Chains A and B, each alone.
Chain A
Amino acid sequence: MTDTRATILVVEDEPEIRRFLRSALGAEGYKVVETGTVKRGVIDAASHKPDLAIVDLGLPDGEGLELIRKVRAWSPMPLIVLSARAGEAGKIAALDAGANDYVIKPFGIGELLARVRSALRSVVRPAGGGHVLKLGGTTIDLDARTATRDGAPLHLTPIEYRLLTSLARNTGTVITQGQLLREVWGPAHESDTHYLRIYAKQLRDKLEPDPLQPRYLITETGVGYRLVCD
């Protein structure tokens, strides 16, 4: 039988961190490829064609951001960033460079594995591709711009559709608020975060069973939003 397990590339220079990543990812049934530098990481990403990469931001020969930009230039593979820095600016920089998600050190392995599973599930959709979103009892046809909730028609405004379309292009992935504002309202409104807050609330009121503790439209405080499908 050929090896059908997902391959995960780990780019991390700390041997002790690599050790527990290797054992936990291996125990989950993933095939692990390890490397410790930006240079080797770029090469291994091309030669091993992993299904996902976990990238430490501080590597001995450069910034993990550099690796993310290089890999993102040719591959849509999910990239999860490990960062010791808790600052929101660092997370935003990594996401804008093309990372799909981030985990802050120190982290529990449960948290990392959940992100890995979610990232492997996430589907990258072409910008104009026709598709239908299913969020619990709500079905949204992003092309036809029709929606139903529990069988009854649900009205969404054009901006609400645009916002959902931007989020749905890469479900499970954190989209930064700057990116959403640029895509939905235009580059002039990049810092008008109140637009986002108001429309996020409207969407939650329409889509979420409990808008205060949302299941589908998740806020990454200070960073952006992610859309989670069942």
Chain B
Amino acid sequence: MPEHAQNTPLLRNWRGYLAALLAAVACTLTGYAMQPRFDLVNIAMVYLLPVVGIALLSSRGAAVFSAASSVILFDVLFVPPAGVLNIEDMQYLLTFAVMLLVGLAISSLRERARREESGRISHAIAAERERMRSTLLASISHDLRTPLSVMIGASTSLAEHGEQLPAAERRALALSVSRQAQAIAEQTEKVLQMTRFELGDLALQCDWNSIAEIAGPVLLRLREALAQHRLLVDIPGNLPLLRVDAPLIAQVIGNLLENAARHTPPGTVIQLKARMLEQAVEVAVEDNGPGLPDAVLERLFDRFREQRIGNTSGGVGLGLAICRTIVKLHGGGIHAMQRAGGGTRFAFTLPAEAAPQLPEENESTRP
């Protein structure tokens, strides 16, 4: 995660130790240059610099190593007799102790700052997760409670007063139970599917398919949902075959068509179009309903969008998030935009590979 990258020390692992060693060597060279004109104490101060630097930029271990290597080099090369490690002189042990302390103090200050920073970030992540969870819970409880209330109310009416009710009334109650149950079933399926996607628990089963053949059964299945609208279908017969997971692409087309039917007034036109782009096939669902403001269009594909569009029961907004996940898994893109003539256009692309060879049949397909 990028938040963590800026939070880790600049000089990680062995790099810190190497930098400490190089810095100590550089100090030694500087020390040699200073020696004729400066006191040994001042040269010792020069050795303090890398300890501070390493403590700031690297780990505690590297800071200790820096202090130690500085002291040893200083001691061996500068403290008379030069060339020997002089450990008897208490003065220089003190130098080492001070360097070590400075190094450790800076190191632990930095450590604390880092902990606070990462605590702040993980707190922000937890808050975002929490926000999402409560949005999901709120949506689910709304999306479940309403239909469940209807189902319990209608079915107990049927069970307890069924005989007193006219047949038409009984039928209406039973139908509303079945409609609401259907809504819950669809919603449950979507939540399960999104969860499977998030767990990475869904491998694509791709084989060669035609968009027209995928769309056919979808139109059949949605005949009732689309009955109030005028449906225009334009899928050219010469589109290439695509290597896709047909049931999932059918679901994308179905979700887009259902959305269009749900969010536009009866009697308006819904179009299902497909066309060849340069390296991809584009499938679009267009409506000429009231359209959506840009701010809403941008957030449409978010997982659990908070705002409901208008007053309609759009569910948890999982449908479009599922569409986006499916299209992305196929290496395509999906977007929504305002149509020039009013209404909304949802379009997704699927990459087109070179079409496979078909073995030749001696006869032509036409007499």
Task: Using CB atoms and an 8 Å cutoff, list the residues of chain A in contact with chain B.
Answer: 86, 88-89, 106, 108, 153, 155, 157-159, 191-195, 197-198, 200-202, 205, 211-214, 218-222
Q: Which of A155, A191, A219 contacts B207 (CB 8 A)?
A: A191
* Chain B contact residues: helix, strand, loop or mixed: mixed
Question: A191 vs B243: C-alpha distance in the bound complex, in angstroms?
Answer: 12
Cβ A88 vs Cβ B247 within 8 A? yes
Verify if B241 is at the interface (C-beta below 8 Å from A): yes
Number of residues of chain B lying within 8 A (CB) of chain A: 35
Cβ B216 vs Cβ A213 within 8 A? yes
Q: Cβ of B363: which chain A residues have Cβ within 8 Å of it?
A: 157-158
Given contacts A106-B181, A106-B185, A157-B363, contact A221 B210 (CB under 8 A): no
Question: A197 vs B237: C-alpha distance in the bound complex, in angstroms?
Answer: 12
Among residues of A, the one whose C-beta sits closest to the C-beta of B212 is A212
Cβ B220 vs Cβ A213 within 8 A? yes
Cβ B181 vs Cβ A214 within 8 A? no
Q: Cβ of B355: which chain A residues have Cβ within 8 Å of it?
A: 194
Q: Which of B216, B358, B359, B367 contacts A219 (CB 8 A)?
A: B216
Q: Cβ of B366: which chain A residues have Cβ within 8 Å of it?
A: 155
Q: Which of A88, A155, A192, A194 contacts B205 (CB 8 A)?
A: A88
Task: Using CB atoms and an 8 Å cutoff, list the residues of chain B in contact with chain A.
Answer: 178, 181-182, 185, 189, 205, 207-210, 212-217, 219-220, 233, 235, 237, 241, 245-247, 250, 355-356, 358-359, 361, 363, 365-367
Q: Cβ of A193: which chain B residues have Cβ within 8 Å of it?
A: 207-209
Cβ B207 vs Cβ A218 within 8 A? no
Among residues of B, the one whose C-beta sits closest to the C-beta of A89 is B205
24 A-B residue pairs with CB within 8 Å: A86-B189, A88-B205, A88-B247, A106-B182, A108-B182, A157-B365, A158-B363, A191-B207, A192-B208, A192-B356, A193-B207, A194-B207, A194-B208, A197-B208, A197-B213, A197-B241, A205-B237, A211-B212, A212-B219, A219-B213, A219-B217, A220-B217, A221-B217, A222-B205
Which 7 residue pairs across A and B have the least CB separation, nearest first?
A: A194-B208, A155-B367, A222-B247, A193-B207, A193-B208, A194-B356, A222-B246
Q: Cβ of B182: which chain A residues have Cβ within 8 Å of it?
A: 106, 108
